[in-house]
Amino acid sequence: MFDFISRTLSTAFDVATLPVAAAADVVTLGGALMDRSEPYTATKVKRVARGVGDVTKALVE
């Protein structure tokens, strides 16, 4: 049960901070100024998707 709650809170935090990642992309021109391989938003969206999958798995267990 604790695993489900912690994964849910982690995913909720990632969703809540998604606008910050989008703003960082605007400021750094999609991460180009920081020599990133992908934009901050893409990284955050992948993390949210992985988190949703983990929450689903934790709920099923």
Cβ-in-10-Å burial (0-12, 13-18, 19+) of 18 comes to middle
- Residue 61's pLDDT is 80
CA distance 44 to 59: 22
- Residue 52's pLDDT is 96
- Residue 1's pLDDT is 79
Cβ-in-10-Å burial (0-12, 13-18, 19+) of 2 comes to exposed
- Residue 22's pLDDT is 96
pTM for the model stands at: 0.85
The pLDDT tens digits along the chain (61 residues) read 788 999 999 999 999 999 999 999 999 998 888 888 999 999 999 999 999 999 999 888 8
**Residues 17, 44 contacting (CB under 8 angstroms):** yes
